[in-house]
Amino acid sequence: MTVAQPAVRSETVATASPPLIAPHRLALFLDLDGTLAPIMPRPDDVGPDPRRARLLARLIAVLDGRLAVVSGRSLPDLDHILGGGVRAIAAVHGLVRRTADGQLVDREPHPGLEEARRILGELADCERGLLFEDKGLSIALHYRNAPACAEAVNEAAERLSQATGLVLQQGDMVAELRTPGADKGAAVRAFLRETPFTNATPIFVGDDLTDEDGFTAADRLGGFGVLVGPARPTAARYRLSDHEAVFRWLDGLRIPMEASA
C-alpha cells in the first residue's frame, strides 16, 4: 500500500500569527476548503463568493500575478468556485496544474481507479451519509456526515491501495485514492520555476494534512507555511484560527505596499 506521508515537524506546534510582509517579492499559495472557504457538510455546498473574488483579484494585482490556489479539488470545480478569477491553479493535490499563462500540465489516470471507483461507489450507495466524489485522477469517499463509518471507509481504502497501487490520501473526514504523482509541495516547486513566480518568497496557507507538503516546500525555499485551524504538530511556522482570520491577514497585506508607495 502506498500512503501519502506529508512531512511534519512532529515536535513543532504553530501558535503565532504570521507577520505582515511587504508584497514586493512575495508569492502566495492558498488552499481552498478550510482556508479560503469554511468546511461545509458537502463539497457542493461551497460556491462562488463575491467577497473572496474581490480579495483574490486585489492580491493578484498587488503581487503581479504571484498567487496560486493549490487544492485537492478538481480544476473545473475550482474554476467554478473561484469564478474563473484565478489563472494559476494546482488541482487534485498537485496532479493537475494550470500555469499562470494558462498551460495545462496533466497526467493519465491510474488504471486502478476503475476498480476503486466501483467498490467505493457501492459502499457509498449502502450508507446514506457517505458522499462519493470523482475527480478524474482520484476518487474520494467523505464520511463527515456518517462518522460511524470512518473505520469501514478507511479499511476499504487501505485494501484498495494495496491491491491497485493507488496512493491513499487521508484528509479531514475523507479517504481519497489518487493516481501516484505530484503533491502540493511539488506544485509549489514547479510554480516557482515559472514566470511570474521565479525568485519569489513562497508562503503556503492551508488547513489539512495534505497541505503539509506545501508547508515543507515553502519553508525549504525560504518562505513559510501558515496552518489554519486548531494547533497541532505541523511543518508550518505560523497559525491562523479559521478562514475569517485568513481573510483578515490577507487583506492586511495591502498595508506594507501602501506604506512604501
* Window from 5-14, 82-91, 127-136, 240-249 with minimum mean pLDDT: 5-14
Q: Exposure of 108 by Cβ count < 10 A (0-12 exposed, 13-18 middle, 19+ buried)?
A: exposed
For residue 106, the SS3 value is coil
| Percent over 90 (pLDDT), the chain | 81
Residue 2 has pLDDT above 70, yes or no: no
- Give the whole-angstrom CA distance, residue 2 versus residue 161: 6
Q: Mean pLDDT, to the nearest integer, of 189-201?
A: 97
Which value, in Å, is the radius of gyration of the alpha carbons in the chain?
18
Which pLDDT belongs to residue 256? 45
Q: Which residues contact 20 (CB under 8 A, 6 or more apart)?
A: 249, 252, 253, 255, 256
Task: Report the amino acid identity of residue 104.
Answer: L
Per-residue pLDDT tens digits for 46-78:
999 999 999 999 999 999 999 999 999 999 999
Please write the tens of the pLDDT for every residue from 70-125.
999 999 999 999 999 999 999 999 999 999 999 999 999 999 999 999 999 999 99
Q: What SS3 state is found at 74?
A: coil
Q: What is the mean pLDDT of residues 154-170?
A: 94
CA 188, chain centre distance (Å): 11
Res 139 pLDDT > 60: yes
The pLDDT assigned to 31 comes to 98
- For range 20-37, the mean pLDDT: 90
Band (258; pLDDT cuts 50, 70, 90):
very low
**Catalytic annotation, residues:** 31
Average pLDDT, the chain: 90
- 9 pLDDT exceeds 50? no
Edge-to-edge strand list for the sheet holding 224-228: 104-105, 96-98, 89-91, 67-70, 26-30, 201-206, 224-228, 238-240
| Predicted confidence (pLDDT) per residue in 232-252, tens digit | 999 999 999 999 999 999 998
Q: What is the pLDDT of residue 4?
A: 61
229, 232, 238, 242 alpha-carbon torsion, rounded to 10°: 0
What 3-state class would DSSP assign to 13?
strand
Residue 259: per-residue pLDDT:
40
- What is the pLDDT, as a whole number, of residue 50? 97
